[in-house]
Amino acid sequence: MTADTAPAPAPEGWGPTRSRTVTWHDPLVTAAGVRDLSGLAALQAMRDGLLPPPPITRLMQMVPVALEEGRVEFRCDLDESVYNPLGLVHGGLLCSLLDTVAGCAVHTTLPRGWGYTSIELKVSYLRAVRADSGPLTAVGTVAKPGRRVAFAEGQVLDAAGRLVATASSSLLVFPIEAGG
């Protein structure tokens, strides 16, 4: 799928046009591959290029840098494309990053054939973030694994090591059905 929407000519004073291209691979290839691996092995396969990464990671410019059972670390590169109207990184990017690391931390604890989904996420924003605040480091850890519900926490740090946002998350754990 592509969006071929050319922007209308900008009024004078808006500055030069900027752009960013996002590419991705078929996410159903990843979904099929994940079913046959433990959670940790699936994330390692994506990190190591054996499975395509989920499209959202390309869109948000985030990559896993450390993966172990119960803990993940992602790096997120920033640019102005994620700014809100106030000239700051949109809180939704931080929220999505925290949701990702919390979910992936839980995923590392799951056996083959099991998945997860967020059922609650509480985010605290602690400091403003700008493009020059990055790259960001997001760490997710499992607070309590569970057979039906797992609990995880996340932190986002800026390039100077300052805490910019935190989250606590509850995630539903469930068997993945074959073929769907």
Whether 51 is covered by a domain: the verdict is: yes
User: Given phi > 0 = left and psi -120 to 50 = alpha, else beta, which region is 81?
Assistant: alpha
Pairwise CA distance, residues 137 & 73, whole Å: 7
* pLDDT for the residue 12: 87
Whether 8 is covered by a domain: the verdict is: no
* CATH code assigned at 87: 3.10.129.10
* pLDDT for the residue 2: 56
Using an 8 Å Cβ cutoff, are 62 and 124 in contact? Answer: no
Using an 8 Å Cβ cutoff, are 157 and 88 in contact? Answer: no
Whether 180 is covered by a domain: the verdict is: no
Three-state DSSP at 172 gives strand
Mean pLDDT per 10-residue section of the chain, whose length is 180 residues:
68 90 95 94 97 96 98 97 96 98 98 97 98 96 96 98 98 82
Confirm whether pTM is higher than 0.95: no
* pLDDT for the residue 134: 86
Whether 72 is covered by a domain: the verdict is: yes
Whether 10 is covered by a domain: the verdict is: no
Using an 8 Å Cβ cutoff, are 136 and 75 in contact? Answer: yes
Whether 68 is covered by a domain: the verdict is: yes
Whether 50 is covered by a domain: the verdict is: yes
Q: 150: closest CA among 117, 122, 123, 124?
A: 117
Amino acid at the residue 108: T
* pLDDT for the residue 4: 63
Whether 130 is covered by a domain: the verdict is: yes
* pLDDT for the residue 3: 60
Q: 104: closest CA among 59, 53, 158?
A: 53
CA distances from 114 to 6, 33, 124 (A): 42, 12, 29
Number of domains in the chain: 1
CA distances from 170 to 60, 115, 122, 142, 173 (A): 22, 14, 9, 10, 10
Domain hosting 49: range is 27-175
24 burial via Cβ count (<10 Å: 0-12, 13-18, 19+): middle
